[in-house]
Chains A and B, each alone.
Chain A
Amino acid sequence: MTKLYFSGLFILLLFITSGCEMQPVKPWERGTLAKPSMQLTPDEVENALDEHIYFSKEASTGGQGIGGGGCGCN
């Protein structure tokens, strides 16, 4: 089942990036990238809450940043 999940993710990634050719984007072409919804972490509070939930329920943590998170919940 796990392999199926990650195969699906990989296929989706190929689909999305198939139309992406790397091209330098000029400052005046950044209208779309500047939208709040296009930030890599568009909702920082929600992200922090999720990190705390999964930190307390799983053995893995981290990846997005460093420090913080010290908690007796795990």
Chain B
Amino acid sequence: MSYSSSKKIRDSLSLACCSLLQVAPEASATPIGDVSIDSAVLIYSESDNRVSLIEPVVKLKTELKEDQFLSVQLVFDALTGASPNGAQASNVAQTFTSPSGVGEYTTPANELPLDSTFRDSRFAMAATLESPIDRLQKNIYSLSLSAEHDWNSLSAGYTYSKDLNLRNTTVMTGASLTYDAISPVGGAPVEFAQMLAPGFSQPKDGKKDRNTIDFIAGISQVLNRSTITQLNYSVSQSDGYHNDPYKILSLLDDTSALPTGNYLYEKRPDNRQRHIIYWKTAHHFTDDVINIAYRYYQDDWGIVSHTADLKYRYELSAKSFLQPHIRFYSQTAADFYRHSLLASEASALPDFASADFRLGEFNSTTIGLKYGRELGNNRHFSSRLEVMQQSGNSQPADAFGEQLNQDLYPDLTAIILQFSYSFIW
């Protein structure tokens, strides 16, 4: 036997041994044909009677054939409560026309104007098929859809991944296309149009849509027997309707900053490009696990954000754990974020303006605790309780007159409660 053929045999045997000894993740150790079911109910509630939500979720995952996995996630959510309409609080009561144009609601003096007609429910489905090309490469196909009474979304994506370096390194790249069909209650308001009283013919633009294309490239690397890290870069380009059709801006008196009684519908750019760098690391101590993530985000609306997330899984016993969680988030304002407009600007409006708090500068902190327990026979239960607090600048430098008596960025506190149960069927 020649040297080269004996080397080939040795290499083949080594490869076979490695394959046999390869330890598959326990999470995918479900026998072919069985279905792992993850179910959860999320309860989300904001302070001051703002948004409340209940969201049941079920995710089914099965191995169709060796290393080919199909997962389907179904989500339903029901929202109630009230959402800020963009107008500014004042020392006088303010009346607004509801989005349908047929009713109205009044906000008492010194209270944040909230649209109390806010109701919504959503059904969403996401399916993913992981299909191996060979032992080291795989294709991942994804399809998701979401349906609301005023918003429908369809998204399709493809990701390719390849393992390298004895599977210590995985590289991946992917792209997706998303189409959003937007049909606001009463029609999309004309940008910067004045909100008219019920009964008057509000100028509307009808239905709108948006197209989004996303790209991602990432690498995950096993650093040692107990540490794995991942780094992703994503870019997203969206074109089409980006306004929130239910958000307005107050038109204030130039000297007193009191409401003139006129409100304009917002106007945002019709495209947006986002760049995101995302890094995550998991490290196993003797018993416990720490999971850290950081995200840098910037877009061409002028928003830059930093997100840091830390979870520490403390093993109480072989079957139960406690997991404290802390998340910090900080964002700058969009270039066109305005807490209000002045009456004198009505004749020479800026290119874009929105008073949506989510486009303002703010910090957010979430602190939570999760408890998880194995119940035997591949059944798991967990529950988490978290508190999220958002705070922005309540007195920006350009505030004047009545604005000095009002909180121009009220804090938001929300409770997040979740119960999860998973099993094999």
Interface, chain A (partner B; CB < 8 A): 1-2, 5-6, 9, 12-13, 16-17, 20-40, 42-46, 48-49, 52-54, 57-74
Interface, chain B (partner A; CB < 8 A): 18-19, 21-27, 38-40, 42, 44, 55, 57, 59, 73, 75, 77, 79, 120, 122, 124, 126, 142, 144, 146, 148, 150-151, 153-157, 159, 165-168, 174-180, 182, 212, 214-216, 220-228, 230, 232, 234, 236, 244, 274, 276-278, 280-284, 289-292, 294-295, 297, 299, 301, 303, 305-308, 310, 313, 321, 328-331, 334, 358-359, 363-364, 382, 384, 388, 390, 412, 414, 416, 418, 420
The smallest C-beta distance from A35 to any residue of chain B, in angstroms, reads 6
- B residues less than 8 Å from A62 (CB atoms): 214, 234, 236, 274, 276, 278, 297
- B residues less than 8 Å from A52 (CB atoms): 55, 75, 77
- B222 pairs with A25, CB closer than 8 A: yes
- A residues less than 8 Å from B159 (CB atoms): 66
A-B contact pairs, 24 of them (CB 8 A): A6-B306, A9-B292, A13-B281, A27-B21, A33-B226, A35-B284, A38-B226, A38-B228, A42-B282, A45-B39, A49-B55, A53-B416, A57-B358, A57-B412, A58-B329, A59-B334, A66-B142, A66-B159, A66-B175, A67-B157, A67-B178, A70-B180, A71-B153, A72-B122
The smallest C-beta distance from A6 to any residue of chain B, in angstroms, reads 6
In angstroms, Cα B77 to Cα A66, docked, is 22
- A residues less than 8 Å from B40 (CB atoms): 45-46, 49
- A36 pairs with B27, CB closer than 8 A: yes
In angstroms, Cα B73 to Cα A74, docked, is 21
In angstroms, Cα B321 to Cα A58, docked, is 30
The smallest C-beta distance from B35 to any residue of chain A, in angstroms, reads 15
Q: Which residue of B lies closest to A59 (CB)?
A: B303
- A residues less than 8 Å from B277 (CB atoms): 63
The smallest C-beta distance from B234 to any residue of chain A, in angstroms, reads 5
- A71 pairs with B146, CB closer than 8 A: yes
- B223 pairs with A20, CB closer than 8 A: yes
- B278 pairs with A67, CB closer than 8 A: no
Most B CB within 10 A of own CB, among A37, A39, A59, A62: A59
A27-B166, A39-B27, A58-B305 given; A63·B310 CB < 8 A: no
- B residues less than 8 Å from A34 (CB atoms): 23-26
User: Which of these, A9, A21, A39, contacts B25 with CB under 8 Å?
Assistant: A39
The smallest C-beta distance from A20 to any residue of chain B, in angstroms, reads 5
Q: Which residue of A lies closest to B157 (CB)?
A: A67
Q: How many pairs of residues, A versus B, come closer than 8 Å at their CB atoms?
A: 245
In angstroms, Cα B412 to Cα A43, docked, is 27
Supplied contacts A36-B27, A64-B278, 12 more A-B pairs, CB within 8 Å: A25-B168, A27-B21, A30-B22, A33-B23, A45-B39, A48-B73, A49-B40, A49-B57, A58-B364, A60-B297, A66-B159, A69-B178
In angstroms, Cα B75 to Cα A57, docked, is 19
A60-B331, A67-B157, A70-B180 given; A30·B18 CB < 8 A: no
In angstroms, Cα B349 to Cα A28, docked, is 66
- B residues less than 8 Å from A29 (CB atoms): 225
- B44 pairs with A72, CB closer than 8 A: no
User: Which of these, B22, B27, B144, B331, contacts A59 with CB under 8 Å?
Assistant: B331
Q: Which residue of A lies closest to B19 (CB)?
A: A27
A62-B297, A65-B216 given; A22·B180 CB < 8 A: no
In angstroms, Cα B27 to Cα A74, docked, is 33
In angstroms, Cα B29 to Cα A35, docked, is 11
User: Which of these, B23, B221, B290, contacts A30 with CB under 8 Å?
Assistant: B23
The smallest C-beta distance from A45 to any residue of chain B, in angstroms, reads 5
The smallest C-beta distance from B82 to any residue of chain A, in angstroms, reads 14
Q: Which residue of A lies closest to B55 (CB)?
A: A49
- B176 pairs with A46, CB closer than 8 A: no
A9-B294, A37-B313 given; A63·B232 CB < 8 A: yes
User: Which of these, A5, A17, A31, contacts B23 with CB under 8 Å?
Assistant: A31
User: Which of these, A1, A25, A33, A72, contacts B148 with CB under 8 Å?
Assistant: A72
- A16 pairs with B290, CB closer than 8 A: yes
- B328 pairs with A5, CB closer than 8 A: yes
- A residues less than 8 Å from B301 (CB atoms): 59
- A44 pairs with B282, CB closer than 8 A: no
In angstroms, Cα B295 to Cα A60, docked, is 10
- B residues less than 8 Å from A60 (CB atoms): 274, 276, 295, 297, 299, 303, 305, 307, 329, 331
